[in-house]
Structure formats: C-alpha cells, structure tokens
C-alpha cells in the first residue's frame, strides 16, 4: 500500500524552518548554475542571430578571424564577380568588402575597452537585412558619419547619438543607432569602408574580409568550394553561419565549463545539507514511522514516502531557484570576444533547456541527499522505532 502524497507535503512543513533553509540552500545552487549558463546561452543567441546560411565570408588564408585578416581589394573585386553571387534589386552583385579596426574607447564608468569598427560597402545592408536603424538615420559614405550598435550606444559615452568621436585620426559623427535583432553586430560601430580606412591610414587598399550572398544555402556552399579550390587567391571561404558558430563556441565554452564545475561542486555540498534535513525528519518522526509500520505499511512504502519527500524538497528548491534566476533573462553583460579582441555586449538568456537543467540538478540533489536517511528509516525494526521518542 502506498502512503498518500498529502502526508509527505504536510510532514515537510511540520518542521518548516529546517525544510525552508534546505530549500534555500539548494535554490542558490540552482541560481548560480542558471546564471552562469545564461551567459553562455546569451552569447550563443547573439552569434546565432548574426549568421545567414546564404552568406559566405572570405578571409585571408591562415587568419582565424576578421580582425587578423587583410587582403588586397583587387581580390575583393574578383570575388564579387564570381558566378553564383546573387544580385540585388539594382542589378549589382550582393558583395561587400569589409574593414575591421579596433579603437580603445572609454565606457560610461571610465574603464576602457577595444571597440570593433566595421567599414562596409552599401550592398551590406541588402545582405544583412536584419540591420535596422532604431534611432537617428543611416550614415552617408564619404561624410565622416557612423552608426553604432544599440548596445554600444548605451555603454560608451562617446557613442551616443549626435556625439562626435575620434577614430584613428579623424573625428566622426554618430548619426544613427542600429539594432541587428540582438545579434553580435550590436557591439560594433559601422561606417563607410573608405572613411574608416582613411582614418587609420593603414594599408589603404585592403579589406579585412569580403561578404558575399548567394541565392540559396546550397549555392553558398558551391561558392565556398569554388573559392577554396582556387589556389591563386590564397583566401579561405566559409559559410557565415559557421564563422559565427566558431566564435560562439570559442567564447561560451569557458562559461559552460565554469557553470558546470560550480554546479557539480555546489550540488555536492547541498547534498549533505539535504541529507541533514532528511535525517532530522526521520529521527523526529521515528514514532510515526513505527506506527505506520505497525498499521501494515511495508518497508518499501516507508522508503518511497521519504524519497518522495526528498524529491519534493529538491523540486521546490529547483523551481524557486529557477524563479529567482528568471529576472536575469535579458540583463546585459559584456565580455571580451577572445577571438576578435573586442568587446561584445549581449543579453543573458535563461533558455528553457538551461532552466530545466537547473531544476533537474536540484531534484537530483534532493534525491541523492535524501536516500541514506530514507533507507535507514525503512530498515529499522518496528520495535526500536516505537520505543524511541
């Protein structure tokens, strides 16, 4: 015969102080786990929003990122002329040379960071239609104007709409703020390729990368193969989705490791706390257990009853921890993109799988921690149980 669930729930809250404290300690484990993994989740979302499977990114052979890459613009022209590159409404190829430069800027709090500047050609806005102006207007090439990603505008004092800022040797005016649907471009400043190149006066005829768009993902793959096969170009091509997936892995890996190591160690600690509570429950209720056994409940029913209680403690703690972690969703965090050496700002994402992982962790903690007490409760002879007080 099974002991009704109601008995477990009521029992737990007879000694509510102990139970609540255990729930609190496990809930904090869940909070830390979800919080750290939300950082990894946010980075993944930001990079995933940046790639389009129809787009092909071309870098110098050997360069791992756009920041390290540069090649002559003559090659960029050859790339744009390749068959397989889609054409825009104006009949021009959907191709944009891009220049990536880094500039040290002060954050609002006075600390400093590298900000990525991206010089682009007009076709880029047809290739990346997700970029839209949310404040101000689009920049005009040749006029020393730039637009800044939404996240940067909020974090760097010089990058507010209407401000002037020096990049390299030239002053630029911030004329617009853009959003790329939460993508990693929100941490970049965009301007004309020529304007930014002039400002840094370095290698005035080179691009960091070229972005091409094919008419379909399959066409894009064919384009990648064509460029890879051409030994004379000394360039490497890859799908844009793959490029950003690499950055996502490289940058979120540390948080995934950190989150899991923390979670496992903290969960071990919390297991002992759960064990303590369940032992206290068992010893306080030895009389009750004896009575239940005397009434004819089997050992395994007693075991099951206490396991259910332990699982309940874990589950409640998991839900509480997840609820505490929910407000983290959408908070902005910033870190250095280890591959491009520039700051990336992103929103924390407590995705359903991360939340579920946290609740599961708590449930496990409760069950593992509660088992020894539940086992000993079910093993003790009725006579001993009833004699205790």
Partner 1 sequence: MGKLIWRNLLRNKRRTLLTLASLMFAVVLLTFLTAFLDLLTNTEAAVDNRLVVRSAISLANPLPESYGPRLQRIDRVKAVTPLNWFQGVYLNDRPENFFARFSSDPATLFQVFTEYRMSDAEKQAWAAERGAFIAGKALADKYGWKIGDQIFIKGDIYPVDLNLTLRGIYTAPGVESSEKQIFFHRRYLEEAMNNPGIVGTYFLLLDSPDDVPAVVEKAEAMFANSESQVRAETEAAFQLSFLEMIGNVQFLFQAIGIAIAVSIFFITANTMAMAARERTTEVAVLKTLGFQGGQVMGMVIFEAVLVGLLGAAIGCAVSAAAITGMARQLDKVFPLFGTLAMTPRAWGVGLGIGLLVGLVSGLFPAFSASRLRIVDALRRVA
- Positions that interact with partner 1 (CB under 8 A): 17-18, 21-22, 24-25, 28-29, 31-32, 35-36, 39, 60, 62-64, 67-68, 101-104, 111-114, 167-169, 200-202, 262, 265-266, 268-273, 275-277, 279-280, 333-336, 341, 343
Q: Which long-range contacts (CB under 8 A, 24 or more apart) does 2-8 make?
A: 2/301, 2/304, 3/292, 3/297, 3/301, 3/302, 3/304, 3/305, 5/308, 7/305, 8/305, 8/308, 8/309, 8/312
CA-based angle 272:276:277, to the nearest 5? 120
Say which residue the tokens 């974090």 belong to: 155
Closest approach of partner 1 to the CB of residue 66, in Å: 11
Return the number of the residue (31 or 311) whose C-beta is nearest partner 1: 31
d(CA 186, CA 41): 17
Number of CB atoms found within 10 A of residue 173's CB: 15
SS3 (DSSP) at 39: helix
Closest approach of partner 1 to the CB of residue 305, in Å: 21
Return the number of the residue (261 or 356) whose C-beta is nearest partner 1: 261
Of 85, 46, 45, 55, nearest to 238 by C-alpha is: 55
Return the number of the residue (113 or 378) whose C-beta is nearest partner 1: 113
Closest approach of partner 1 to the CB of residue 192, in Å: 18
Return the number of the residue (68 or 135) whose C-beta is nearest partner 1: 68
Closest approach of partner 1 to the CB of residue 138, in Å: 26
Closest approach of partner 1 to the CB of residue 132, in Å: 27
d(CA 151, CA 38): 18
Return the number of the residue (4 or 341) whose C-beta is nearest partner 1: 341
Return the number of the residue (291 or 335) whose C-beta is nearest partner 1: 335
d(CA 255, CA 275): 29
The interaxial angle of helices 352-379 and 299-325, nearest 10 deg, is 150
Closest approach of partner 1 to the CB of residue 36, in Å: 7
SS3 (DSSP) at 208: coil
Closest approach of partner 1 to the CB of residue 200, in Å: 7
Closest approach of partner 1 to the CB of residue 278, in Å: 10
The interaxial angle of helices 240-284 and 352-379, nearest 10 deg, is 20
Output the six-digit token pair for 249: 């892995």
Cα diameter, the chain: 93
Return the number of the residue (36 or 45) whose C-beta is nearest partner 1: 36
Q: Residue 139 gets which letter from DSSP? A: -
Return the number of the residue (32 or 222) whose C-beta is nearest partner 1: 32
């Amino acid at each position: 015969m099974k002991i009704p669930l109601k008995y477990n729930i009521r029992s737990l809250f007879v000694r509510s102080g102990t139970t609540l404290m255990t729930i609190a300690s496990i809930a904090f484990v869940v909070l830390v786990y979800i919080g750290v993994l939300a950082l990894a989740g946010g980075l993944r979302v930001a990079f995933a929003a940046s790639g389009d499977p129809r787009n092909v990114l071309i870098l110098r052979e050997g360069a791992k990122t756009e920041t390290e890459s540069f090649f002559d613009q003559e090659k960029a022209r050859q790339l744009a002329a390749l068959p397989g590159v889609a054409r825009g409404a104006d009949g021009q190829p959907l191709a944009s040379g891009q220049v990536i430069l880094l500039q040290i800027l002060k954050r609002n709090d006075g600390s400093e960071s590298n900000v990525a500047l991206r010089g682009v050609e007009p076709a880029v806005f047809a290739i990346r239609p997700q970029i839209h102006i949310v404040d101000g207007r689009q920049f005009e090439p040749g006029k020393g104007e730039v637009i800044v990603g939404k996240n940067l505008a909020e974090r760097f004092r010089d990058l507010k709409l209407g401000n002037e800022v020096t990049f390299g040797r030239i002053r630029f005016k911030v004329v617009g703020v853009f959003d790329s649907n939460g993508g990693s471009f929100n941490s970049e400043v965009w301007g004309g390729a020529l304007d930014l190149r002039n400002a840094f006066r370095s290698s005035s005829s080179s691009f960091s990368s070229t972005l091409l768009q094919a008419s379909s993902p399959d066409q894009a793959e064919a384009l990648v193969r064509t460029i890879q096969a051409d030994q004379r170009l000394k360039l490497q091509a890859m799908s844009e989705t793959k490029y950003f997936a690499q950055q996502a892995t490289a940058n979120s890996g540390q948080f995934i490791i950190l989150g899991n190591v923390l979670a496992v160690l903290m969960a071990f600690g919390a297991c002992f706390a759960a064990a303590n509570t369940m032992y206290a429950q068992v010893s306080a209720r030895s009389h009750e257990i004896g009575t239940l056994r005397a009434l004819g409940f089997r050992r395994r029913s007693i075991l099951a009853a206490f396991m259910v209680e332990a699982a309940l403690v874990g589950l409640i703690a998991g839900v509480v921890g997840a609820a505490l972690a929910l407000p983290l969703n959408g908070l902005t965090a910033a870190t250095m993109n280890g591959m491009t050496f520039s700051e990336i700002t992103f929103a924390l994402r407590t995705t359903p799988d991360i939340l579920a992982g946290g609740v599961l962790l708590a449930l496990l903690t409760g069950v593992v921690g509660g088992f020894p007490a539940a086992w000993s409760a079910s093993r003790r002879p009725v006579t001993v149980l009833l004699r205790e007080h």
